[in-house]
Structure 1
Amino acid sequence: MGRTSQASVADKLARLRLSFRKKAEGELDELTVTASRLARGGQPRPGSIKDIASAYSILHRLAGSAGTFGYTALGDQARRLEQRLKPMAERRPPDTNKPLGFPEEHAQQPLDIIVEIEGLRSLLDVTDEPVKGILEHPYSSDPRSEPTPDIHVILCGLRDEAADFLEHALSNYGFLISRMDVDSLSLNGKPGMSAVVTSEDTLVEVSRVLGALECAGGASRPPLLCVGRQDDFKSRYFLADAGADAFFPEPIDAPQLAERIERLVNEQNESVSGKILILDDDEHLVAHYCTVLENAGFRVKAISDPETVLSELSEFRPDIMLLDVRMGAYSGTTVAKLIRFEPEWVSLPIVYLSSEQDKHVQLEALAKGADEFMTKPVSDDYLVRTAQIRCYRARQLNELLIKDSLTGLLKHSVIKQEVENEHARCQRMSHVSSVAMLDLDHFKAVNDQHGHRTGDIVIKALANLLRNRLRSTDQIGRYGGEEFAVILPQCTTCEAQKVLTQICNAFSDISFATADGDLSVTLSVGIAALDAFDFGSDALDAADQALYERKTAGRNGVTVFHQV
């Protein structure tokens, strides 16, 4: 994020802090008046439920939000006064229109409390630095609009024979390959999308150099993969202790190595974001939360009226929800329970936000439908980290539902729905898009002659190749056993044919090691223009027909559907 963006966020947080102070000044004036009524003339008198509830509500809000804006002393004192008022605020006579008298054990409290409330105003001049916002995150643009970033694989300290083999084999997956020796090892300015492959003989030295580069540049150390001859427990233990993230014994299985490189790099660089719905009636605090979370890459929607929560959930469809426990006449715990009435929201992660510190009360609140309890004031770092963890977990669970376990690609039903979604976008925005059906040639013979394990390796290799060679905006699904579907938005059939022909050529050049020797597998592809049909399913059928024509014409290539 540039300096201008950082300054903009900092200015917004500063304005929110000033706005909070102005509102707090008015609320403290109101508290002083209320306290005076509760102890008129210096003598205890029955106070109205309204006065006590109002004082308690203001103190509760200040206890939860003051620290976020840098008024820690004010927040701490408000919390102490809130706890003292709580027993009185929770007393409910049968007729709520009657005045609420203080029980004997609380008779002196209004006199004490008025003095302490008057002292709260002075704490507005006792400030510390507001909880630091996270002002620098690599989310300046939507990552889905960018091309899939190239993964840079550095071959370091390998024998020439092994380096030659890996340079040829890994380049077929779309990786950028560099060969370096230990003394010249560098990350070429892109440590975030790099991986290093080295040998067991040079692992210790390479690990040391990478550690030094990490300290000097401030970037995370790239994944370090080791290849070697010794494959036993003690050897693997030594390599793990020396810094290896993965080990591959010789002869090297290139498809498995490519899969592991992709997974390790993507795990290290995966940006955790998502959609967050906030329900809280404290406008200043919510504005602060929204600023911090949006700056960290999240899409955030804030609402203050609990009565709109179900409609907002259906429209916004968040990954997680942040929910205040106390919102005027409404209880957040009851709202959470109400949300769980709907089956589609049973698994929605709900995180309570509250200044409540009683652990028993927190447990009772959690029992009514939420997953976590964050005690206000919440630091910006803790807020963002909690959101990242919860969104990441929600994404993991969602991927179990929508992605194929072997390949990590979209399941059959999901890719079919994505075809319809893209077709609708084509119709609505006059886009030109393509859809393709891909099928592995003679795959039954691969399974029959080399076993299903080899067949699975071939399928995963194609999945990895497609992910690396296609754009991040392209959708890839496993349509059947060895059949795949690909959606290429804003891509003509001519452009799609060029890209998929390159993929066919690269895949046929991949060598799979088997007990009977090396194996190569080819690929057939059919393409259709998604925008040329009335329904997405019709375009899929046309791509499938083109695939059939490719099979009958000799396989190993790409055919585009042409309407007669």
Structure 2
Amino acid sequence: MGKDPTTDIADKLAHLRLSFRGKAEGELDQLSEVASKVTGGNQKQRLLREDVMSAYQLLHRLAGSAGTFGYTMLGAEARRLEQRLKPLTEQDASNGDTKLVVSAEERQKTVDTLVQAGRLRALLDEPVVPPIPSASNSEWLKGNHGLPVSDIHVVLCGLSEGSQVFLEYALSNYGFSVSRQEVTALSFSQAHLMSMVVTSEDRLSDVSSALDSLFGGDESLKPPLICVGRSDDFRARYVLADKGADALFHEPIDITMLAEGIERLVSEQSRTVSGKILILDDDEDLAEHYRAVLEAAGFIVRAISDPETVLSELSEFFPDIMLLDVLMGEYSGPTVAKLIRFDPEWVSLPIIYLSSEQDKQVQLDAMAKGADEFLTKPMSDSHLVRAAQIRCYRARQLNELLIRDSLTGLLKHSFIKQEVEKEHARCKRLSHCSVVAMLDLDHFKKVNDQHGHRTGDVVIKALASLLKRRLRSTDLIGRYGGEEFVVVLPECTTQEGQSVMNQICHAFSDQLFTNNGVSLSVTLSVGIASLSSFGSGSDALNAADQALYERKEAGRNGVTIFHQG
């Protein structure tokens, strides 16, 4: 039986906490030595700049890291003393004077501060409250997991008989699992199988209250709730939103829009927010702590402590976001951020500062040199994870805008071609069998000419939605141009690909589109080819295109496999 992940992360963090304590003992001994050196001199002896700077840097590190490892009193006291020394560290040193210019009163205050710093070692014996999640409060560590469409279970409740029959048939055709049930009669275990509830405006209050009771008011566990309503003014929408509705649709329901809404709402609730994070912090224990916590939350993390390696690490690791310490010995975090931006490739990389600096003006000045956000140490592990999730999600959103077609959300022409080449290289390297398919809507010009381009766009979006729902999460889908689509099916034979595409052709031909009271259906032609049978991905794509042409010549509405003559 495998080890419980929560126990595993707890062991890692406990080990890092012991490592921190060992280093902190040595640093606190250094503070004691500085205090003894200063108090051992006569009262007229001027303070050495290096002594004060050394004490300040040690206190700064403890202020930023002690709380993370459970030593909250030590961190708070180190921060208080650090702030008292900070004005002296900002004194102009351009004249090369090794001694600080202070009044007798300022000298005494500084000496008192250093003496107090020298006594901080006793705080290592305070009761430690390590920020390690227990099994009952570690949801942020577990992460959420996206659902394949066949696992999206839609419950229809409180709708008219006609609406329920229509929605059950139509949504099933999109690949959803659909049932008609009374939410108020479900057990706790049954309720947890629901991904989405669709109900009427009249029953919204009852259904929403039932969901609150079933899930104990936990909004993160409740399935999204779609309301089918009649009214559409601001006041009516406000009332529905206040009663718990997450979306509103009016009859007659546009099934394509409803299917997209279900997928979006379920995806937003269940998606895994992850990504690649590069951490640069000269405090190795703290960097490792952050790495362990973020990896447990589902991120891919690389932690480094040497600023001189950052450019090579960026090029090799290619992170979604970067966490950067502000003070790293002789190196400045803002300066490192600035030099990273020299390279156009990293201009859009989200950089988040990690620092115990609390001065808002200093934070703004630092951000002006190339960063996007400022997180103040110490921070809770859950806060760190949430901040990383938000930033990674936003970075992925921006990237999606660059590579996705605005109408369908599918990969653009150039990017799906890149994916075809990547999968071809993978087939050659691993001796796998994969398929590329070229799809084209039949008689699509007639749809645009007779029903208008708006209806044409609806048909294109409907096919894109169907493909996303019926294919695997590992399959790649792109809009090749106009009404043409390309699909890559990894680890799939041509016979398996033909079977899958035939199912999609049948499902799509069953969909009805309405324009000004006129209903129409559209069919689909597909040509497929084996990627491993060709010298390049583009050759395989051309073969699939040729098979598509043969399908068109043979009568459309079906699938043809490319066979070399």
Shorter-chain TM-score bucket reads: over 0.9
AA of the residue aligned to 1:24: A
In 2, the alpha carbon distance for the partners of 1:252 and 1:92 equals: 71
SS at match of 1:221: coil
Match of 2:9 in 1: 9
Indicate the larger mover: 114-123 or 524-533. Answer: 114-123
The answer to whether the Cα contact below 8 Å between 2:470 and 2:504 also exists between their aligned partners in 1 is yes
User: Counterpart in 2 of 1:262?
Assistant: 263
SS in 1 for 2:274: coil
Deviations 1:477-535 (A, max 9, x none): 11111111111111111111111111111111111122142211111111111111111
- 1:104 maps to what in 2? 103
TM-aligned CA deviation for residue 107 of structure 1: 2.4
2:382 aligns with: 381
CA deviation vs aligned residue, 1:442-492 (integer Å, no higher than 9, x gap) = 111111111112111111111111111111111111111111111111111
Shift of 1:138: 8.0
Structure 1 pair 190/413, CA: closer, same or farther in 2 (3 Å)? Answer: farther
Note the alpha carbon deviations across 1:48-78, whole angstroms, 9 max, x for none: 4443332222111001101111111111111
User: After the TM superposition, which of the residue ranges 306-315 and 98-107 deviates more from structure 2?
Assistant: 98-107
Provide the C-alpha distance between the structure 1 equivalents of 2:187 and 2:417, rounded to a whole number of angstroms. 44
Paired position in structure 1 for 2:540: 539
3-state secondary structure, aligned to 1:129: coil
For residue 342 of structure 2, give the secondary structure of its aligned residue in structure 1.
coil
Who is 2:75 aligned against?
A: 75
What is the CA-CA distance between 1:342 and the residue it aligns to? 1.1
| Inter-CA distance 219–322: structure 2 relative to 1 (3 Å threshold) | closer
Distance 1:342 1:509 in 2: 52
Deviation at 1:378, TM superposition (A): 1.2
- Residue identity in the other structure for 1:163: Q
Residue in 1 that maps onto 2:225: 224
Q: Give the conservation status (yes or no) of the 8 Å contact 1:59–1:79.
A: yes
Q: Which residue of 2 aligns with 1:484?
A: 485
Deviation sequence 1:108-156 (CA, Å, 0-9, x none): 2453134212320111112341335587358879969x85552111111
- Name the residue aligned to 2:362: 361
* Counterpart Cα distance in 1 of 2:479 and 2:360: 48
Task: State whether residues 32 and 115 of structure 2, in contact with CA within 8 Å, keep that contact through their aligned partners in structure 1.
Answer: no
For the residues of structure 2 that align with 1:296 and 1:412, how far apart are their CA atoms?
Answer: 34
Instruction: Give 1:94 shift.
Output: 4.6
Structure 1 Cα separation of the partners of residues 289 and 133 of structure 2: 9
Equivalent pairs, count: 562
2:58 counterpart of 1:58: yes
Specify the alignment match of 2:277 in structure 1.
276
Partner of 1:168: 169
Once the two structures are superposed, the pairs formed by residues 293-332 of structure 1 within 5 Å of their partners are 293-332=294-333
- The answer on whether the counterparts of 2:143 and 2:273 sit within 8 Å (CA) in structure 1 is no
Q: Give the structure 1 partner of residue 199 of structure 2.
A: 198
Cα distance, 1:515–1:280 mapped onto 2, change above 3 Å: same
| Distance apart, 1:157 and its partner CA | 1.6
Q: Which amino acid aligns with 1:357?
A: Q
Cα distance in 1 for partners of 2:145, 2:232 equals 40
The CA distance in 2 between the partners of 1:558 and 1:363, in whole Å, is 59
Bigger mean CA deviation after superposition, 427-436 or 187-196: 187-196
Write the letter of the residue equivalent to 1:278.
I
Q: Which residue matches 1:155?
A: 156
Work out whether residues 325 and 352 of structure 1, in 8 Å CA contact, stay in contact via their aligned partners in 2: yes
User: Structure 1's 234 and 330: CA in aligned 2 closer, same or farther, altered over 3 A?
Assistant: closer
Rate the CA distance shift 1:138–1:325 in 2: closer, same or farther, 3 A. Answer: closer
Aligned to 2:400: 399
Deviation of residue 87 (structure 1)? 3.0
Write the distance in 2 (CA, Å) between the matches of 1:139 and 1:358: 31
**Residue 185 (structure 1) shift:** 4.2
Equivalent pair of 1:433/1:490 in contact (CA under 8 Å): yes
Question: After the TM superposition, which of the residue ranges 98-107 and 407-416 deviates more from structure 2?
Answer: 98-107
Kept in 1, the 8 Å contact 2:55–2:114? The answer is no
What percentage of residue pairs aligned between the two structures are identical? 65
1:533-552 CA deviation, whole Å, 9 max, x = no partner?
11111111111111111111
Separation in structure 2 between the aligned mates of residue 388 and residue 563 of structure 1, nearest angstrom:
49
Shift in alpha-carbon separation, 1:104–1:521, aligned structure 2, 3 A? same
Residues 364-412 of structure 1 show CA distances to partners (whole Å, capped at 9, x for unaligned) of 1111111111111111111111111111111111111111111111111
Report the equivalent of 1:551. Answer: 552
Q: Which residue of structure 1 lines up, in the alignment, with residue 499 of structure 2?
A: 498
Contact kept? 1:349, 1:394, Cα under 8 Å: yes
Give the Å deviation of 1:42: 5.4
* One-letter code aligned to 2:102: P
Q: Which 5+ residue runs of structure 2 have no aligned equivalent?
A: none
Contact 1:435 1:488 in 2 (8 A): yes
Check conservation: 2:212, 2:218, Cα contact below 8 A: no
Are 1:21 and 1:124, in contact at CA under 8 Å, matched by a contact in 2?
yes
Range that drifts further, 67-76 or 108-117: 108-117
Rounded to whole Å, the distance in 2 between the matches of 1:439 and 1:188 is 44
Q: For residue 129 of structure 1, what is the aligned residue in structure 2?
A: 129
Instruction: Say if 1:495 and 1:38 are closer, same or farther in 2 by CA, change over 3 A.
Output: same
- Aligned-partner Cα distance in 2 for 1:433–1:141: 31
CA distance, structure 1, for counterparts of residue 217 and residue 90 of structure 2? 58
Q: Which residue identity lines up with residue 103 of structure 2 in the other structure?
A: E
SS at match of 1:408: coil
What pairs up with 1:433-448 in 2 under 5 angstroms?
A: 433-448=434-449
- 1:207 maps to 208
- Asked if 1:32 corresponds to 2:35, the answer is no
Work out whether residues 38 and 46 of structure 1, in 8 Å CA contact, stay in contact via their aligned partners in 2. Answer: no
Give the corresponding residue for 1:119.
119
Distance 1:388 1:184 in 2: 36
> Aligned residue for 2:348?
347
Q: CA deviation at 1:227?
A: 2.4
Q: 1:42/1:129 Cα in 2 relative to 1: closer, same or farther (>3 Å)?
A: farther
Match of 1:408 in 2: 409
Contact 1:279 1:305 in 2 (8 A): yes
Describe how 1:442-461 pairs up with structure 2 within 5 A: 442-461=443-462
CA RMSD of aligned residues (A): 2.5
Q: Quote the Cα distance in structure 2 between the aligned partners of 1:387 and 1:276.
A: 8
With the length of structure 2 as denominator, give the TM-score of the two structures: 0.94
3-state SS in 1 of match to 2:407 = coil
User: Aligned equivalents of 2:364 and 2:193: distance in 1?
Assistant: 41
CA positional deviation for 1:13:
1.0
Change (3 A) 1:114 1:183: closer
SS at match of 1:496: helix
Give how far 1:233 is off.
Answer: 5.4
8 Å CA contact retained: 1:227, 1:248: yes
Per the TM alignment, residue 86 of structure 1 is displaced from its structure 2 partner at its CA by 2.3
How far has the Cα of 1:250 moved from its partner? 2.1
Amino acid at match of 1:20: F
The Cα offsets for residues 150-170 of structure 1, whole Å up to 9 and x where unpaired, read as 211111122222211111111
Instruction: For 1:127, give the aligned amino acid.
Output: P
Indicate conservation of the 8 Å contact 1:276/1:321, yes or no: yes
Q: Report the CA distance between 1:287 and its aligned residue.
A: 1.0
Amino acid at match of 2:463: L
- Paired with 1:527 and 1:298, the residues of 2 have a C-alpha distance of 36
Amino acid corresponding to residue 374 of structure 2 in structure 1: F
Residue 291 of structure 1, CA deviation: 1.0
Compute the displacement of 1:225 (Å): 1.7
Q: Could you tell me whether the CA contact under 8 Å between 2:191 and 2:214 is conserved in 1?
A: no
